[in-house]
Homo-oligomer: A and B are copies of this chain.
Amino acid sequence: MTAKKTKQNHKLPRLYVSQAIEAELLLPLDQDQWHYVRNVMRLVDGDEMMIFNGQHGEWRASLVYETKKRICLKPLLQTKPQPNQPELLYAFAPLKKGRLDYMIQKATELGASLLQPVLTDYTDNHKINLQKLAANAVEAAEQCTMLSVPQVAEPLKFDQFIAQFSKTHQIIFCDEAADSASPINVIAALKGQKICVLVGPEGGFSEAERQALLTLEQVTTISLGPRIMRADTAAIAALTLVQATIGDW
């Protein structure tokens, strides 16, 4: 019975809400949500959805059409508690448009908790629309039944990034020039530490950046294999290896 119920919940549309969720406490939809619920999904008064806010777990909620212009969600029952998601920082050089969207979606699906754009010497996209990145992360979380949505941080220059994170995190540096070797044991040795996965732009890191990373104590270099992966593939591969070895899998 439980399996069947989960399947039913899984088929309901999912919506991220920014408000606190409490049983019976009505949550008015904003303009975009109103349009999605009414015009895209064509849901009516009394229809049910799954909602989450990244803090209070997942809830089954019903729609209350107070007027044509004011639609609310009424949380009925918490169906899943908020999971205790481990911190996993994903630092990346912003790619050009399509691949950047894709990378944000994939990092969300793989459970990154913070997305940190880093402007490196060879970064080819310096005009980043942070709101769009955040909307992409929300959409991926809605579609993939995630209960957490990664935060999107303001971009940092490479040096700022190093200064900010090299003291607090173990930085896993995906180095194209590293000797080919399975990174599983190297990653396994970092168990229990705060992890930041760092992937460079399509052109890789500059030699100055590489040397700066290689001299830092809290940097662990891994190989992504004998093939040269595109930066978005490298992101998924590195996050997969970290999650499956020492993370949340």
How far, in whole Å, are A183 and B83 apart by their CA atoms in the complex? 21
Q: How big is the A interface, by class?
A: 20 to 34
Residues A184 and B244 in contact in the complex (CB < 8 Å), given A106-B233, A227-B109, A249-B225: yes
How far, in whole Å, are A181 and B245 apart by their CA atoms in the complex? 10
Q: Does the CB pair A229–B109 fall under 8 Å?
A: yes
Q: Does the CB pair B181–A229 fall under 8 Å?
A: no
Smallest beta-carbon distance A37→chain B, Å: 22
Looking at chain A's contact residues, the main secondary structure is loop
Q: Is A146 an interface residue (CB 8 A)?
A: yes
**Taking each of A184, A237, A244, which has the highest tally of chain B beta carbons within 10 Å of its own beta carbon?**
A244
How far, in whole Å, are A182 and B183 apart by their CA atoms in the complex? 15
Neighbouring B residues of A110 by C-beta, 8 Å? 227, 229, 233, 237
Q: Is A102 an interface residue (CB 8 A)?
A: yes
Q: Is A144 an interface residue (CB 8 A)?
A: yes
Q: Does the CB pair B245–A184 fall under 8 Å?
A: yes
Q: Is A143 an interface residue (CB 8 A)?
A: yes
How far, in whole Å, are A97 and B102 apart by their CA atoms in the complex? 15
Smallest beta-carbon distance A188→chain B, Å: 9
> Which residues 94-125 in A have Cβ within 8 Å of B in the complex?
102, 105-106, 109-111
How far, in whole Å, are A229 and B243 apart by their CA atoms in the complex? 13
Neighbouring B residues of A79 by C-beta, 8 Å? none
Q: Is A230 an interface residue (CB 8 A)?
A: yes
Neighbouring B residues of A223 by C-beta, 8 Å? 249
Q: Is A9 an interface residue (CB 8 A)?
A: no
Q: Does the CB pair B230–A109 fall under 8 Å?
A: yes
Neighbouring B residues of A233 by C-beta, 8 Å? 106, 109-110, 236
Smallest beta-carbon distance A113→chain B, Å: 12
How far, in whole Å, are A3 and B144 apart by their CA atoms in the complex? 43
Neighbouring B residues of A244 by C-beta, 8 Å? 182-184, 225, 237, 241
- Chain A positions within 8 Å of B, measured between CB atoms, are 83, 102, 105-106, 109-111, 143-146, 180-184, 223, 225-230, 233, 236-237, 240-241, 243-245, 248-249
